[in-house]
Structures are given as C-alpha cells and as structure tokens.
Chain A
Amino acid sequence: MLRRQAIAVLALAGLLVSLYLWLHKLGVIGVLQCGTGGCDTVQASRYAEFLGLPVALWGVAGYALLFGVSLVAVQRPDEPRRRPDAAVAVLASLAFLFTVYLTALELFVIHAFCRWCVGSATIITAIMVLSLAAVGRRR
C-alpha cells in the first residue's frame, strides 16, 4: 500500500513540474528558475515539441494519467486482478523510455541540461521502480 501511495505523491509532483514547464511554454510564466541556465536552451530547441505538441504538455497528460490510475490503485487495495498496478507499471515504463530519449537529446544533441527535466526524469524513474516492485511482489 505504501508503494502505491508513494507513486501517487510522486505522480502529483511530476504533474506540477510538467505544468510549470507548460505554463512557461504558454507564456504564463516569464523566466524559468533554472540554476544551470540550460532550461531555456532546452525549451527553445526544436526538440521541445513531440508530434506537434510541446513535450511539457505530453508530461502534463502523462503524469495526470499516472496520478489518476495510481489513485484508483490506492482506492482498491484488494483488486484481485492487479489491473491498476499493471497499468501504472506499463505507463511508467513507457514514460521512462521517453525520458531516456529526451535525456539523450539533452546530453548529445542540445548539449544543455534543464534541472526541471532532470527532476522529472528522477520522478519517473522512481515511479517505474516502485510500480515494477509492486507488480513483482504480487506475483
């Protein structure tokens, strides 16, 4: 149960980080608070969009979905088919792969790091580890 709760809290934190980056993209937030100075370089690059939509918006949608599913998992601790846990694990794994792709772009193509992206990468990695552990434990 603690794992599921931790996943929900982490998903909410990830949602807030993505929302911050998306609001910046929309011009609602002026300058990103970014100690490394790389956030604007990353945000201004052509890789800040994926399939025609801002990457930050994908993050908002992904974390919102993860948050919703993880709340369902918290609400149904005795769900026999483990569907919510499996759904969180699948979503988190897909998001993790996407994050690996984005981080590789930062490292090898853009040559700049955005601390908010690193924060999101840390969050999604933690969610994936926790969700896979939750699925594995129930087998």
Chain B
Amino acid sequence: MRGFYVLLAAVGLGGGAWLLYAARHKPEQPTVPVSPAPVAQAGSFRGYTLGSDSAPVHITEYSDFECPFCAAFATVQMPEVRAQLIVPGKLQWRFRDFPLTNHKYSRTAALAAQCGGEQGKFWEMHDQLFFNHQWAQTGKDPTRLFRDFAKTIGLDADRYDACMDSQRYAGRLEESKQEGEAIGVDHTPSFYVDGRAFTPRPTSDAFKALVDSLITHRKR
C-alpha cells in the first residue's frame, strides 16, 4: 500500500512540475524585420510584412481572423515558417485581410489588428487573435476581449479605442478583400507565391520545399 502512495505522489508531483514548467516557459517568436506602420489611406497599403523586402521569395497570405483553418495555420505552421524561412532571409511574408461575410466578427478582429498595426504592433495583435482563438467559437461579442489583447501587448488603450471607434481602416479591409477577389481568392487561408496560387496543403514543410527549390533554381 505504501508503494502505491509513493507512486501516486511521484506522478502528481512530476505532473505538477511539468505543468508549472509549461506555464512558465512560453516559446518566444523569433525576431524578424517587420514593415513600418503604413499610412491610413487604403490605396497605398499593401499589407503588413514579415521579413526583408530583398528576400528572394515573396508569399502573400489572404486570411480571415475568425477562420479556424487560418488560426491553425498561424499557430502551428507559421512559427516554423518564420524560423526556417523568414528569419534566415529566404522569404518575405505578406498578410492580407480577406474577412469572410459568413463570419460575424472577422471584420472587428481585422480592424483590431490594423489598430495594433497603427501603433507598430500588427503582428503581436495578429498572434493574440490567433493564439487565443477561443473567442471565435463562443459567438459572443469579442470587442472587450480584443481590448484586453491590445492592453496585453502594450498598446495605448486610448489610441486603440479611438482607432476602433473611428473604423478608420475599414476601407483598407475592403480594398484588401477586393484585391483578393480580383485574383481568385475564394477561401481562407489562400497563399500566393511570387504571385502564383499555392494549392497544395499549406504546411511549413511544403513552403520550405518550394522556397528552397525556387532559390536553387534561380541560382542556376
């Protein structure tokens, strides 16, 4: 009987220690160059980017913040894409909004990300929206939660509120969506590699194979 309680204590303590470790050691996103905060006019804006303008390959993603597949891509594949392709300078990643009409809070989320971008923290807000994607399943108005995200990443709350209230980036979202529709985007996430549609299953391995192949081919 004593052996049983020792085993129970070992499992309990080991598991508790593991949970504590997991809670305290959140993996950090690698540092990559990000595009500067753009001006508010829709016409001149072509989306936020990760990676150098001089990268040999450019990928554009059309995404919807409420879409579960976009969230899965952003949380599972994108960290690998960042580490393996963007950080080494092989790839520049461009994010374009494609808010789907059947998603109730996509536009609110996209505006929140743009308002984060206004203060130089688009990608931080992007990560908050995708890594805490429970909001998309509850059906509840996430406006207050997004404000909490904004505060979590250190945005000036007053500026964020003013930005959201004015909806000053609504035109930018609309233009981004029209741009996507013009080139044939009909689902999210959709990807274009140097302007060509990428149709295989979007995994970091698939992108890595393609980008490496393009770079090798161009060197010849």
Residues of A within 8 A of B (CB): 5, 8-9, 12-13, 16, 19-20, 23, 25, 27-31, 33-34, 37-41, 44-46, 48-49, 54, 74, 112
What residues on B are CB-neighbors of A46 within 8 Å?
Answer: 68, 137
Interface residues of B in 1-23 (CB under 8 A from A): 4, 7-8, 11-12, 15-16, 18-19, 22-23
What residues on B are CB-neighbors of A33 within 8 Å?
Answer: 22
Taking the nearest CB of chain B, how far is it from the CB of A16, in angstroms?
4
Measured in the bound complex, the distance between the Cα atoms of B16 and A34 in whole Å is 19
Knowing A44-B68, A44-B72, A49-B137, say if A31 contacts B11 (CB, 8 Å): no
Instruction: Please tell me if B210 contacts chain A, counting CB pairs below 8 Å.
Output: no
What residues on A are CB-neighbors of B77 within 8 Å?
Answer: 37
Instruction: Please tell me if B27 contacts chain A, counting CB pairs below 8 Å.
Output: yes
A44, B27: Cβ atoms closer than 8 Å: no
Measured in the bound complex, the distance between the Cα atoms of B18 and A12 in whole Å is 14
Instruction: Please tell me if B213 contacts chain A, counting CB pairs below 8 Å.
Output: no
Q: Which residue of A lies closest to B152 (CB)?
A: A27
B75, A40: Cβ atoms closer than 8 Å: yes
Name the interface size band of chain B.
20 to 34
B131, A30: Cβ atoms closer than 8 Å: yes
A13, B11: Cβ atoms closer than 8 Å: yes
Measured in the bound complex, the distance between the Cα atoms of B1 and A74 in whole Å is 9
Instruction: Please tell me if B120 contacts chain A, counting CB pairs below 8 Å.
Output: no
Checking A16, A28, A38, A39 against B23 with a beta-carbon cut-off of 8 angstroms, the contacting residue is: A28
| Main SS class of interface, B | helix
Measured in the bound complex, the distance between the Cα atoms of B23 and A77 in whole Å is 38
Knowing A19-B19, A25-B134, A27-B132, say if A44 contacts B75 (CB, 8 Å): yes
Residues of B within 8 A of A (CB): 4, 7-8, 11-12, 15-16, 18-19, 22-23, 26-27, 68-69, 71-72, 75-77, 79, 131-134, 136-138, 203
| Main SS class of interface, A | helix
Can you name 28 A-B residue pairings with CB atoms under 8 Å? A5-B4, A5-B7, A9-B11, A12-B11, A16-B18, A19-B15, A19-B19, A20-B19, A23-B19, A23-B23, A25-B134, A27-B131, A29-B22, A29-B26, A30-B26, A30-B131, A31-B26, A38-B76, A40-B71, A40-B72, A40-B75, A44-B68, A44-B71, A46-B68, A48-B134, A48-B137, A54-B134, A74-B4
Taking the nearest CB of chain A, how far is it from the CB of B23, in angstroms?
5
Closest 10 CB pairs of A and B: A30-B26, A16-B15, A41-B72, A40-B75, A44-B71, A5-B4, A29-B22, A44-B133, A40-B76, A37-B76
What residues on A are CB-neighbors of B134 within 8 Å?
Answer: 25, 48, 54
B72, A13: Cβ atoms closer than 8 Å: no
